[in-house]
Amino acid sequence: MTTAPLRGAEQSAPPHFQPTSARQVKPALDWLFAVAVLAVAGLYVRALAFTPPDALQGMAQKIYYIHIAAWLSAYLAVAITALMSIVYLWLHDDRADRLAEACAEVALIFLTVGLCTGSIWGHRIWGAWWVWWDMRLTLTLFLWFVVAAYLVLRGAIEEPAMRARYSAVLGILAALLIPFIHLSVYMFSARLHPMPVALQPGAPKMSPQMLVTFLSSFVVFMLLDIAFIRARYRIGVLRELAAAAEADGGEGR
């Protein structure tokens, strides 16, 4: 492939602090990660030992505390990826691209957790490991595929500026795609199976104790979300440093 001068190189953002050695990059797993781990452990203790089981669903209802929070964290990360894609095409700032990459990878982790826990919950409450008529489950599955495609695309391009532009384009198109999948799945499920009101997930009757656990699970997993994203961002910085160092070494010899 011929190398034409790339836009990203000329129109880079105003100079910001650029680390030049690994020492200047803080460790990936730092105090925020430690706080998040402690918070998750605390949430587990509270959810499992100090929160009463649901009258209708029994112990299975406790899956909510990890399931819904995982999806919220995933959607937050996906939203940041889409937003950073727009920012990148606008400002050509490397940091936006790196943040988009970090968020996409973390989103995939949380989406996987959401799908697994949702499936385990559904197999007892719905009587099936998978149901196509549940909108959230189906929508999340397709979101998983889109995020996976985004990460595969990133892995398939070596030229950094091109990788950033391509993945930003995909990020923006994916944001446009989601409403269409949502609408299609909604129409598909609405005609097949009206949602059983008694088992409508997300809105169970909760005692105050359960509600506190439920809401704090959002905060706790968002914290873990941010800690993961930050760690992944720093790994992105290190990776670029390593690539730059190896390119320099190759020229010097």
Residues 51-70 close enough to bind other proteins by CB under 8 A: 55-60, 62-63, 66-67, 70
The site for other proteins, by CB under 8 A, has a size of 80
Count CA atoms closer than 13 A to 211's CA, side-chain side.
Answer: 6
> Which residues, 6 or more positions from 69, have their beta carbon under 8 angstroms from its beta carbon?
217, 218, 220, 221, 222
Distance between CA 76 and CA 204 in Å, rounded?
23
Closest distance of CB 38 from other proteins, Å: 13
Distance between CA 132 and CA 103 in Å, rounded?
27
User: By CB neighbour count within 10 A (0-12 exposed, 13-18 middle, 19+ buried), where does 4 fall?
Assistant: exposed
The answer to whether the CB of 73 falls within 8 A of the CB of 224 is yes
Closest distance of CB 111 from other proteins, Å: 10
Is 226 or 241 the residue whose CB approaches other proteins more closely?
A: 241
Longest dimension (CA), the chain: 72
Q: Which of 14, 17, 49, 158 binds other proteins (CB under 8 A)?
A: 158
Q: Where in 115-154 is the site for other proteins (CB under 8 A)?
A: 116-117, 120-121, 123-124, 142, 145-146, 148-149, 152-153
Which of these segments, 1-9, 76-84, 194-202, 205-213, binds other proteins (CB under 8 A)?
A: 1-9
Which of these segments, 76-84, 173-181, 202-210, 212-220, binds other proteins (CB under 8 A)?
A: 173-181
Is 206 or 235 the residue whose CB approaches other proteins more closely?
A: 235
> Which residues, 6 or more positions from 122, have their beta carbon under 8 angstroms from its beta carbon?
128, 129, 130, 131, 134, 137
- Establish if 157 lies at the interface with other proteins (CB under 8 A): yes
Q: Where in 185-224 is the site for other proteins (CB under 8 A)?
A: 185, 187-188, 224
